[in-house]
Amino acid sequence: MSDSLHIEQARSTRDLRAIVSFPWQLYRNDPCWVPPVIADRLARFDPATNPMFRHGEAQAFIARRDGRIVGTVAAAIDYVLNKVMHAEGFASLGFFECINDYAVAEALLSVARDWARARHAPALRGPYNFTPNDEPGLLVEGRDRPPVILCSHTQPYYLDFVERFGFHKWGPDEFCYGLSVADYRPDLSNLPPKLLRVVEAVRKRSGAIVRPIRLDDWDNELGLAHGIYNKSLAVLPDFTPLDADEFRRQGKAMRPLVDPDLAMFVEIGGKPVGFVLALPDINEALLRCNGLRYPWNYLQLWWRTRRLRGMSFKIIALDPDYWRRGLDALMYLELARNTVRKGFTWIDMSLTGEDNPQTNKLASLFDARVYKRYRIFQLEL
């Protein structure tokens, strides 16, 4: 580390504001970077709003050279999650941003590694800001278009920096699929014939119905979705369950965007056994709203959200006891119908693990194409 480069702990609100504002310096000339909402990023560090701090801890760091910020990083550890995972526990690496200088990256990654080692974490994994559902991964492919909601946009040189430091790929890559629906007929009669046949058979055989989420019963609906979510994804080898508080935090952040036509449950005999969630891609608007730093940026956001073209399909979760019955196809058809009716012209499907059998199968059925790829890295300690 050069004499002029110093790493400091973030100790004040001013320091945290400096951390969440630093990307404006790095990406100001990148047309694909979507400025994060300042209030949302600050809330990640607030124990009053982030449930991770009830059973974990985090520390952010700032790299300065000659008094100027040149990089940031944060490390966190969730002790309850690590207890559940036993030997697979880890500390998370997040909010990693730095100028194109390996000496800066090495200093930041070293302090995050040392912080995690001091807490006896077996590994340092990320990037996560702070959980695996907060903008996970480094962008490996697809820098030619802006990210959709809940996805990140990272500097290309970060890949070299983390690998030089000793990190290696961990787990499956995460995909963003893209699909144009501009040419779909209103009655969806030009959807893949196989899908239409499956859905018709499912309707006759199972008696399943698809219903919109009940926003006036939000807490109960969120509880139903939480149970289905954890049960559905528990079959994946690297899945870590979300506790109720974290699920509620994420639900609260999404609620202003939730449209009952794009968030639906599938029921059999009145019992919810699966759900699908898609969100309007508000990143199309946030791209030009400067992180909502000033009052007039909210007016810009309102104006631009009236013209969103993209819809981001985030998850389809189905109780494994009801797999292989075609219920996923039924939910997807209803989502496609409402997407076309509302005037969206393209669908994003993200993030989808390369080992996820359900979503990858559906993407193939619709002839969707991977347009972004993200990767998680790990360093054994």
pLDDT in tens, 102-157: 999 999 999 999 999 999 999 999 999 998 889 999 999 999 999 999 999 999 99
Give pairs for 214-222: CB < 8 Å, separation 24+. Answer: 214/260, 215/255, 215/258, 215/260, 218/251, 218/255, 221/265, 222/247, 222/248, 222/251
CA distance 297 to 290: 7
Q: Which residues contact 192 (CB under 8 A, 6 or more apart)?
A: 365, 366, 367
Domain with 358, as residue range(s), is: 178-374
pLDDT in tens, 231-258: 988 776 667 778 888 899 889 889 999 9
Read off the pTM.
0.90
Q: Are residues 105 and 213 in the same domain?
A: no
- Among 123, 143, 174, residue at a domain's last position: 174
Question: In the structure, what pLDDT confidence band is assigned to residue 186 with cuts at 50, 70 and 90?
Answer: confident
Q: How many domains does the chain have?
A: 2
E-strand ranges in 161-309 read 168-180, 209-212, 263-268, 271-280
CA distance 333 to 368: 15
Q: Are residues 202 and 299 in the same domain?
A: yes
pLDDT of residue 376: 97
User: How many whole angstroms from its chain centre is CA 229?
Assistant: 15
CA distances from 243 to 61, 162, 185 (A): 27, 30, 41
E-strand ranges in the chain read 5-9, 56-65, 68-78, 91-98, 123-126, 138-141, 168-180, 209-212, 263-268, 271-280, 310-318, 346-353, 369-380
Q: Are residues 166 and 187 in the same domain?
A: no
Contact between residue 139 and residue 95 where contact means Cβ atoms under 8 Å apart: no
360 vs 72: which has the higher pLDDT? 72
Q: Are residues 94 and 153 in the same domain?
A: yes
Whether the per-residue pLDDT at 89 is higher than 90: the answer is no
CA distance 149 to 311: 9
Q: Which residues contact 284 (CB under 8 A, 6 or more apart)?
A: 146, 304, 307, 308, 309, 310
Would residue 331 count as lying in a domain? yes
Would residue 381 count as lying in a domain? no
User: Any idea what the CATH number is for the domain that residue 272 is in?
Assistant: 3.40.630.30
* 6 three-state secondary structure: strand
pLDDT of residue 86: 53
pLDDT of residue 259: 95
pLDDT of residue 84: 67
Instruction: Give the range among 25-34, 160-169, 192-201, 365-374 with minimum mean pLDDT.
Output: 192-201
280 vs 240: which has the higher pLDDT? 280
- Among 174, 192, 219, residue at a domain's last position: 174
Q: What's the start-to-end Cα distance of the chain, in Å? A: 21
**Sign of the dihedral defined by the CA atoms of residues 214, 219, 220, 224, in that order:** positive
Q: Are residues 242 and 357 in the same domain?
A: yes
Q: Is 43 left (phi over 0), alpha (psi -120 to 50) or beta?
A: alpha
